[in-house]
């Protein structure tokens, strides 16, 4: 099973600032990496797949990068609605599909 | 757009079987893998498994001995059965559609508590 590790656990930033979230895989997952956003009381929402492709309707301020074992989600200018928990998910080696433990983005 | 809605008991006794159903609308049930994912309170996401209309299933090895996911195409529903539950199975259970290994549509989640 591939272990996904996200850092930091909590990231405190201000609206308008840039946020950089990291995800590391215990072994290479190539570019088979997705990012999800989860707001309180809601189901997760797919943001990024293929490490860098935005899902339908996702604003351009969200960008993903990386391959192999190290990945980054960048939010270029934080809006109030971006404060949430973000999860990475690998789909290179499955079953099982595995998620990171999440990064909470807070003000 | 796919819409999903979970239903089932919110309380299950230890050692019993947890059963949930997900009702699908908005798209053909033949187009996706139908997936269950759970989230213990305050924790991260755990993929449980999926069923495809072809009849194929795939489960998380950590749960495989206790899990069954089935599909009823006539009712546009799929179901989760998890046997021999313990308190560790207390979680918010989500049903989701999966295409190309990605989880693109989700239900709102059903909280299941395991307690006597």
* Residues in Cβ contact with A81 at an 8 Å cutoff, skipping those fewer than 6 apart: A39
* Residues of A with Cβ-Cβ distance to B58 under 8 angstroms: 94-95
Please choose, from the candidates A44, A42, A19, the residue with its C-alpha nearest in 3D space to the C-alpha of residue A99: A44
Taking alpha carbons only, the member of B97, B104, B105, B110 closest to residue B39 is B110
Chain A: residue whose CA lies nearest to B60: A96
pLDDT band at A2 (very low <50, low <70, confident <90, very high): very high
Can you give the pLDDT at residue B66?
A: 97
pLDDT in tens, A41-96: 999 999 999 999 999 999 999 999 999 999 999 999 999 999 999 999 999 999 99
- A chain contacts of residue B94, beta-carbon cutoff 8 Å: 43-44
Identify the H or E element spanning A74.
strand A70-75
Q: How far is A46 from chain B (nearest CA, A)?
A: 6
- Please report where in the chains the tokens 């139908």 appear, as a residue: B34
Q: Look at residue A107 in the predicted model and tell me its pLDDT.
A: 81
Residue range A16-32: average pLDDT? Answer: 97
Q: Which residues on chain A are in Cβ contact (under 8 Å) with B33? A: none
Please check whether residue B106 touches A, CB under 8 A: yes
Question: How big is the CA angle at B48 (ends B80 and B1), to the nearest 5 degrees?
Answer: 75
Q: How many CB pairs under 8 A join A and B?
A: 53
Cα–Cα distance between B78 and B22 in angstroms, integer?
5
State how far the Cα of A39 lies from the Cα of B4, in Å rounded to an integer.
18
Confidence of residue B1 (pLDDT cuts 50, 70, 90): confident
CA angle A73, A77, A82 (to 5 degrees): 65
pLDDT recorded at residue B53? 86
Q: Which of B37, B38, B42, B44 to mutate to test the interface with A (most CBs of A within 10 A)?
A: B44
């Amino acid at each position: 099973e591939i272990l996904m590790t996200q850092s930091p656990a909590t990231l405190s930033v201000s609206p308008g600032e840039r946020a950089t979230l990291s995800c590391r895989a215990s072994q290479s997952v190539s570019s088979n990496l997705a990012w999800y956003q989860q707001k309180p009381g809601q189901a997760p929402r797919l943001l990024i797949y293929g490490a860098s492709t935005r899902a339908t309707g996702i604003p351009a301020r969200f960008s993903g990068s990386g391959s192999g074992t190290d990945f980054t989600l960048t939010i270029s200018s934080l809006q109030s609605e971006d404060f949430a928990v973000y999860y990475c998910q690998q789909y290179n080696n499955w079953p099982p599909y595995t998620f990171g433990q999440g990064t909470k983005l807070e003000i | 757009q796919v819409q999903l809605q979970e239903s089932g008991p919110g309380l299950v006794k230890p050692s019993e079987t947890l059963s949930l159903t997900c009702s699908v609308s908005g798209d053909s049930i033949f187009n996706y893998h139908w997936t269950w994912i759970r989230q213990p309170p305050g924790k991260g996401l755990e993929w449980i498994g999926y069923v495809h209309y072809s009849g194929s299933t795939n489960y998380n090895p950590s749960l495989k001995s206790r899990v069954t996911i089935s599909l009823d195409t006539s009712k546009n529903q799929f179901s989760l059965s998890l046997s021999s539950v313990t308190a560790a199975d207390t979680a918010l259970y989500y049903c989701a559609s999966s295409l190309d290994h990605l989880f693109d549509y989700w239900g709102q989640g059903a909280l299941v508590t395991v307690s006597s």
